[in-house]
Structures are given as structure tokens and as C-alpha cells.
Amino acid sequence: MSAIPVGGLVPQAADDPAELVVRNAKVHTGDPGRPQAEALAVRGGVITVVGDDTDVAPHIGPATKVVDALGRRMVPGLNDAHLHVIRGGLNYVLELRWDGVRTLAQGLAMLREQAARTPKGQWVRVVGGWSAEQFAEQRLPTVAELNAAAPDTPVFVLHLYQSAILNRAALKAAGFGKDTPDPKGGQIVRGRDGAPTGMLLAAPSALILYSTLAKAPVLEGDDRKTSTRHFLRELNRFGLTSAIDAAGGFQNFPDNYATVIELAEAGQLSLRIAYHLFPQTAGQEIDDLTRWISMVRPEDGDAWLRLNGAGENLTWAAADFENFTEPRPELASGYEAEFEKAVRLLMENGWGFRLHATYDETIRRDLAVFEKLAAEGLFPAGNRWLFDHAETVSADSLDRIASLGGAMSVQNRLSFQGRAFLRRYGPGAAADAPPVRAMLDRGLTVGGGTDATRVSSYNPWVALHWLVSGRNAGDLVLRPPANRVDRQTALAMFTRAGAALTGEEQVKGVLRPGCHADLAVLSDDYFTVPEPAIAHIESLLTVVGGRIVYAAGEYEGLDEELPSISPAWSPVAHFGGYQAAHPAAVAGARQAELLGQAVAESEQHRRWRVARGLAPDGPSSVFDPCFAV
């Protein structure tokens, strides 16, 4: 949309014309000083004016691009505080995504079609972003179904950090046979004859899943750049303008960071990335951290790509696992000595860090180390650090985190693993997993994220729906109202809080003059749509630094052109990424879900009362997250 008279805004001979004006919007700024507006103007990648249409009119020049939001809701660009974006980008176009698929039958049909398109020597891989809980069938695919769908093409299907299912061809390609030993912390399920069946179990370590996936072919050269650019465009589709990369297994520095570094140098990133460094090899973590400290410094880079610190692991011995189908792992006694060396090294050199910690038992042990170092003055306020996940963190641990100046980052892992958590730990623990409200009540900065792409989906609106509703992907209520947040708070967790975790809260996360021009015009009004519809919101116009990086619907064609997806047989080239449901189908499915849920919950509620010695048909006086509607 070029600079033409739009709604009375006529180009003027402005001394400092804006490059972009978005008008006629319902703007949620996130700025307490001016919460609402109608329009904004952008110059040099920075917001210059926020106000109504008449406020931006003087800044429209002959070359100004004017976009009419048509009364739609505009919000600050979203910031995923825990996303494996670098690793995800390197593999995106090779993956068949089941994110958003509502039935296993549909997923298997996609798999069968993709197998027919996949050349010899390549694998079909379904790697995260889905759960059996989202399927109408409420189950995983079987090995037999994978063999029938792809008799000759290797198929690897990852289910969370719990298991992987391989067809016959994938077992052969991965080199699994009768004599293949079980790796530490993992299990190769075997039949009566001792041969692998095709099921791999994390018991509890996911290393068996990672290492098997690592045997599949990878992209090389320019294909890695193209894959990453298309993944970033897919994230832009949902209004994401920033992400904090949490590093992870098989993500070596600097080798596996080269693609995003090259894209940043070429000005081809469409998402701002703050990244972390994660020691990859047990036993050499201190050597890795020491080497990196000599190479780079936190905040090295620019507004598009910058180092944020270390983690989410510092030492392997201190890392717990979040496989809720298995008991909580007992970490080795005495891991604190090496862990203390790592934390001391970072703090002495001005490095912040983030820590993967699912359980309060781990968090308490880590905090004891922090408190010892803090007594020596080694926890200065300028060193940002945080705990990730923290599903079972206690009130006492939260108080200790707050007193040490820490922060939190929570993810919607229980959108996809909620039923497993509920079965193992019960409804009381599920109601507080994680205790988001208690974190906020203590004044902690709490960033919202997804932990995509191998657990949760990268769609942030699924996570926002989880924060607001307390429901998982199968519509099971896990968290009561007391541990939910309102829509404005949830959005702040995905905007302002994420900016605070990277020290950018003065320039990012809100729409006000002087801040980065990062915004999203939404398909539906987040603040007024029915609660179930939150998960189905997308962006129609995403702007990062004043650049239109994604455009759909009325704005299609305004965004930058990307190179074609390569290889041509890519699942993404054929199916796309996240599988969005048609609005009518969403409404119909929601009605069916509610009906089925009501029937199931009625029977569950009856059994729950009987088990407690109560009359079967009476009301419950206690909130039970298993049965609440």
C-alpha cells in the first residue's frame, strides 16, 4: 500500500517523513503511559509517533508506505523467551510438522503422502510440536502404521522427550539390531526375539532420541540459510518478532551458529535473536565456558543478533529431565562442586545464564550454590540469570530466587504433556505446574515461551491460550483460576518480560516513540475473542524494525520475497508448517470437544466422589482440575 490518500490522510511535505504508517488500528501499546492508540509512524526502524490518525498525518510524505489496519487489533511484536530457533531453523524444511493437526488419521495421511515424495536416502521425520493429547484418537501411531505408510522410506516420529517411533526402514538406516546395546538412560524396546520393535524410550534421558535423530541426513550450505529464513517467516506468521534462543543438545558454538550469523551480516534475519551457549560434552564444560569467555561477551552483536549468556545447561550432571512418564531423576550427589566452578567462572566474568530446572529438588540444590557465591559478592545485579520451566518450584524457592535477583521463564510444556504429569503427580501438583501466579505476585520477571520445536509447538498463541485458560491441547483443565493470568498479563509475559530478560526493556516489548518498530496486526482481537479462539489467532501483518516481514489476507504481497524452499521435496514446501484449522471447523470441533468433555468429566467426577466416600451425583466443594469445566 503506497502513499495515497487513505481515510483522509493525504501526503504532506513533511520535513521528516515516516517510512511506514499503520493507521485505523486498535492499538494495544503495552505502555502504561498510553495504553491505547489508533496509529503509529516509523522512521529508521524506530517508532516516531504513537497516537491517532491525525497525529501521524503530518509525517506522511510522498514515499511513505501507509497501511490501513481496517480496525484490527495491533499488539507489540511477540517475544518467545525460550525457543530453540537456531536449531529449528537448520532443520525446518526437512520436517513434517504435525503442529495443529487434530487427528492421527490426518497425520498418517500426510506421512504417507510425504513418504511417496521423499527421495531414496532421505528420511521422513516428525520432530515435535504435537502430542497424542491433541488428536481425536488420543493415541500415538503404531510401528505397524508407520510401516504401512512408508514401507521403504525411513520414518522417525518423535513424541515429546518421552519416546520415538521408527519404522522398519529407519531402524535399518539408524543401524539398530539385536546386538545394539541400550545407551545410558535410554531403552530400545525389543520383541521376544530380541530384535528392536521400533520404539525408543527415554528412561529418563532423551539422549537416545537426540542421537538417533542425528543419524538422519542434514542440510548443507545455502539450503541451511533458506531453511532458516523460511522458519523465521513461519514464526513471523504468528506475530513473533523476537526470540531468546535457549541453545540445546547438538548445537555447537560457533559451528551451528554460523548460519544465523551469516544471515545477520547480510541483513536477512526477520526475527531478533538473543542466543545462549550450551556446553555439549560432559566433563569438559568448564573448558568450553572458559574458551567462550575468551571469544565473546554478553551483548556482543546488535539489535538483530546478540549473545545473552550461557545455558540452559552449565554442567550435565546438574541437569534434570522432564519426561513425566518416568519418575523424577535423582541427580548425582556432589554435582555441586563442578556446578559451582561453572557459576563462579561466569559471574566473575560478567556473564549471565539460564538453567533448565524442572523440579524443585534441583532448584533448591542450585540455589544453595548461588547463595554461597552471593555471600562472596558474586551475584551482582547486572548479571541477568533465570530458571527455565520450574513446574514444581516451591514458594520457598521462589522467595530465594527473588532475594537473589533472579528471574523466571515458563513454557507451555504441559499443553502437550499435561496428562502424563497429572497421572504421575496428581491434580494438586498439576494445578500449580508451574506456579505462574505465585511468581508474578513476588514481583519476579516471568517471560513466556514455548520450548519449541521438539516439545511444544512454536505457535505462541497456543501458549497464550494455556496461560489464560489453564487447558492443555486436549482441552483438559489443569490449572485453576487462581493460577491463571488475564490476557493483558499473558501478553506482557510474551513482550515486555522477554525484553527484560535480554536487557532490552527500554527499546522493545512496547509500542512507544523511541522503541523498535516491532508489531503485529492480528487476524482476530486477542482481547475479545472467545477463550478457545486465542489458540487460533495469527498475524496478518508483522513488522520488525519497520520492515514488513510477513503479510497475509488483505496485505498479501507486502512482505519481502524469500528464495524458494530447497530441496523441492521438502514437507514444508508441500504442506506448509503449522496446520491451521478452518474457522468453521474450529467452531464445530470445539462444540464436539465440549460435548465429549462434559460426558467424560461427568463420569470422572462421579468416580472421584465415590473414591472420597461422597454421594456420586453431588457437587464438589473442592476445585479439582481434572474435572472442572
The pLDDT tens digits for 430-445 are 999 999 999 999 999 9
Residue 585: pLDDT over 90 = no
What confidence tier does 581 reach under pLDDT thresholds 50, 70, 90? confident
Q: In which residue ranges of the chain is CATH 3.10.310.70 found?
A: 92-213
How confident is the model over 226-243, as a mean pLDDT? 98
The DSSP output letter for 542 is E
Question: Are 139 and 159 in contact, with CB atoms under 8 Å apart?
Answer: no
pLDDT at 14 over 70: no
Report d(CA 472, CA 418) in Å as an integer.
Answer: 6
Mean residue pLDDT of the chain comes to 91
User: Is the predicted pLDDT of residue 189 greater than 80, yes or no?
Assistant: yes
Report the C-alpha gap between 629 and 432 in whole angstroms.
17
All CATH 3.20.20.140 domain ranges of the chain, comma separated, are 222-509
CA distances from 309 to 285, 312, 383 (A): 15, 9, 9
d(CA 165, CA 123): 13
Q: Give alpha helix (H) positions in 472-561.
A: 487-493, 496-501
pLDDT, mean of residues 520-537:
98
- Distance (Å, rounded) from C-alpha 556 to C-alpha 518? 18
406 burial type by CB count under 10 A (0-12 exposed, 13-18 middle, 19+ buried): buried
Helices and strands, number each (H, E), in the chain: 19, 23
Provide the 8-state DSSP code for 461: H
Pair 18, 50: CB distance under 8 Å: no
Among candidate residues 40, 20, 67, 36, the one with its CA nearest the CA of residue 540: 67
> What CA–CA distance (Å, rounded) separates 581 from 570?
22
Distance separating alpha carbons of residues 283 and 439, to the nearest angstrom: 34
- Of 115, 125, 107, whose CA–CA distance to 218 is shortest? 125
User: What pLDDT does 227 receive?
Assistant: 98
* DSSP SS3 for 508: coil
What backbone torsions phi and psi does residue 521 show, to the nearest 5 degrees? -100, 120
Peptide bond before residue 567 is cis, with ω within 30 degrees of 0: yes
Query: Which of 9-23, 212-226, 269-283, 592-606 shows the lowest per-residue confidence on average (mean pLDDT)?
Result: 592-606
At 508, list the grid cell.
522493545
Secondary structure (3-state) at 225: helix
Instruction: Supply 231's cell numbers.
Output: 522458519
CA 468, 363, 497: angle at the middle one, nearest 5?
40
DSSP letters of 149-202? Answer: H-SSS-EEEEETTTEEEE-HHHHHHHT--TTPPPPTTEEEEE-TTS-EEEEEEE
- Dist. CA 499–CA 35, nearest whole Å: 18
Using an 8 Å Cβ cutoff, are 244 and 447 in contact? yes
What's 313's DSSP letter? Answer: -
Q: How far apart, in whole angstroms, are the C-alpha atoms of residue 557 and residue 515?
A: 26
Query: Domain 92-213, what fold?
Result: Diaminopimelate Epimerase; Chain A, domain 1 (3.10.310)
DSSP string over 599-617 = HHHHHHHHHHHHHTT--TT
Is 445 exposed, middle or buried (CB count within 10 Å of its CB: 0-12, 13-18, 19+)? Answer: buried
3-state secondary structure of 555: helix
Question: Which residue is listed with cell 544453595?
Answer: 368
Q: Are 533 and 586 in contact (CB under 8 A)?
A: yes
pLDDT-wise least confident of 9-18, 239-248, 283-292, 594-603: 594-603
Q: Within 10 A of 109 (CB to CB), how many other CB atoms are there?
A: 13
* Per-residue pLDDT at 13: 45
d(CA 9, CA 17): 13
Closest CA to 33 of 13, 51, 52: 51
- CA 32 centroid distance within chain: 27
Nearest CA among 340, 352, 400, 406 for reference residue 376: 340
**φ, ψ dihedrals at 111, nearest 5°:** -65, -45
Q: What is the pLDDT of residue 594?
A: 46
| Cis preceding linkage at 62, omega within 30 | no
The three grid cell numbers given for residue 37, joined into one nine-digit string: 492508540
Share of the chain above pLDDT 90, in %: 86
Architecture of domain 222-509: Alpha-Beta Barrel (3.20)
Please tell me the predicted confidence (pLDDT) of residue 381.
83
Question: For residue range 133-187, what is the model confidence (pLDDT) as tens digits?
Answer: 999 999 999 999 999 999 999 999 999 989 999 999 999 999 999 999 999 999 9
Q: Does 623 score more than 50 pLDDT?
A: no
At 284-296, the pLDDT tens digits run: 999 999 999 999 9
CB 229 within 8 A of CB 268: yes
Cα-Cα-Cα-Cα torsion 312, 317, 322, 326, nearest 10 degrees, comes to 170
* pLDDT for residue 608 is more than 80: no
* Residue 417 predicted with pLDDT over 50: yes
